[in-house]
Amino acid sequence: MSQAHDENEQSETPFVVTCPDCEVSKSVDRPNGAIEFARRHHSLTGHEVEWERADLDPDDVGDVPTDGDLKEVMWQLDEQYDDGIPTGIVTAVRSKQGVSMYETFDEVEELRMSGGLYEPRDDHLRPV
């Protein structure tokens, strides 16, 4: 696949993650597709993937929170999602706040263990 084709594909898809260590990018149509890629890539390489682009539709996320801790962000997003907030959306919003995907994973785990959130289904989160 040519680099021009890769660039066209990336410009057409709303979500792109990249690994700065090995310069691999992945374009996906849904936010949790980025999470699946990030986990798979990390398990194979040990590298941490970063958000390159996350086109967050205001109809899906409302007003994207620009600050606040994870729980505040989740409460702001929660009313937009009946079946839980996709983990990809949570990490994308947090990345816009300067928090890495993996820092967000750690925060999610801490909140889950303290009873501050639950997963109504895989990779979907609800604050408590």
Residue-wise pLDDT for 28-57, tens only, equals: 999 999 999 999 999 999 999 999 999 887
* Domains in the chain, number: 1
The share of the chain scoring above pLDDT 90, in percent, equals: 69
How many CB atoms neighbour CB 1 within 10 A? 6
Tell me how far apart the alpha carbons of residues 52 and 89 are, in angstroms, rounded to a whole number.
14
- What would the mean pLDDT of 71-94 be, rounded to a whole number? 92
Residue 119's pLDDT band, with cuts at 50, 70 and 90, is: very high
Highest averaged pLDDT of the listed ranges 38-47, 74-83, 93-102: 38-47
Predicted local confidence at residue 55, as pLDDT: 87
- Is 101 within a domain? yes
- Is 123 within a domain? no
Domain coverage including residue 61: 3-118
What pTM did the predictor assign?
0.85
Choose the weakest-confidence range: 4-13, 21-30, 117-126.
4-13
- Is 86 within a domain? yes
What's the whole-number average pLDDT of the chain?
88
The share of the chain scoring above pLDDT 70, in percent, equals: 85
The token pair at 35 is: 């999470």
With beta carbons less than 8 A apart as the criterion, state whether 38 and 89 touch: no
- Is 128 within a domain? no
Predicted local confidence at residue 75, as pLDDT: 92
- Is 37 within a domain? yes
Main-chain dihedrals φ then ψ at residue 12, nearest 5 degrees = -95, -20
